[in-house]
Amino acid sequence: MENNADVLVIRPENRGDVDAIRKLNKKAFKGNNESKLIDALRGSDIFIPALSLVAEKGGKVVGHILFTPIEIKDANAATPALALAPMAVLPEFQNQGIGTALVRHGLEECKKLGHKIIIVVGHPEYYPRFGFVKAGEKDLALPFEAPPEVFMALELIPGALAGVRGTIEYPREFSEVI
Ligand SMILES: CC(C)(COP(=O)(O)OP(=O)(O)OC[C@H]1O[C@@H](n2cnc3c(N)ncnc32)[C@H](O)[C@@H]1OP(=O)(O)O)[C@@H](O)C(=O)NCCC(=O)NCCS
């Protein structure tokens, strides 16, 4: 029989997870910015509870991922998308596939809810394995300075980025907290 401690469950966060999510982000990022950002977004009207997912192992919350609505804007159009940010796994549980499970499950949930485009600013060696490509090559831009390789995009529906160009507009919580 499988040991409960080995079973990895990915599920939407619930009220009882808030403190564990805060603590694991502080540990993984060695600072408070990401946990403050998550708290601020949770208190905003754009927060999508179904897209704030935890990874639970043996009853312990060991990882978290959040997807938040953003827009890709130019002078003529605003295209809805989601930002994958932040995600974290407790240091002592890293490199066991938990982050991968969170991303894969998260992307499936985003797709089920009808979302088409995901943007991430993150480790350039990590996200391409999920299909993310350099967003700068797709006519997309960030509203802040960052090395081009960290800015990536994923089409959940093939062709979703066709004809889409513009700058990412993040919810104000991102600039207020980080
Ligand atoms: C990034 C993170 C979420 C990955 O979670 P994880 O459960 O360790 O990931 P997995 O076990 O599924 O995958 C491990 C892979 O991630 C890579 N990885 C882990 N941390 C990385 C980092 N800082 N930069 C680049 N790659 C990283 C590992 O090298 C490994 O690669 P491999 O499969 O080619 O050997 C986790 O390391 C973490 O919480 N880091 C600190 C917070 C952070 O950086 N969050 C992401 C912001 S973009």
Sequence ranges of the domains in the chain: 4-177
CB 95 near ligand 1, within 6 Å: yes
Which tokens belong to 36?
């403050």
Top mutation candidate among 34, 65, 94 for ligand 1, by most atoms within 8 Å of CB: 94
CB 98 near ligand 1, within 6 Å: yes
- Ligand 1 centre distance from Cα of residue 127 (Å): 9
Q: Which atom of ligand 1 is nearest to the CA of 122?
A: 48
Which tokens belong to 96?
């066991």
In CATH terms, 4-177 corresponds, of 1.10.10.10, 3.40.30.10, 3.40.630.30, 3.30.360.10, to: 3.40.630.30
99-108 pLDDT tens trace: 999 999 999 9
CB-based contact 71:32 (threshold 8 Å) = no
Would the pTM count as exceeding 0.85? yes
30-60 pLDDT tens trace: 999 999 999 999 999 999 999 999 999 999 9
- What is the distance between the alpha carbons of residues 12 and 164, in angstroms, rounded to a whole number? 30
CA distances for 159 relative to 11, 61, 95, 155, angstroms: 29, 36, 32, 7
- What is the distance between the alpha carbons of residues 147 and 125, in angstroms, rounded to a whole number? 13
- What is the distance between the alpha carbons of residues 138 and 166, in angstroms, rounded to a whole number? 10
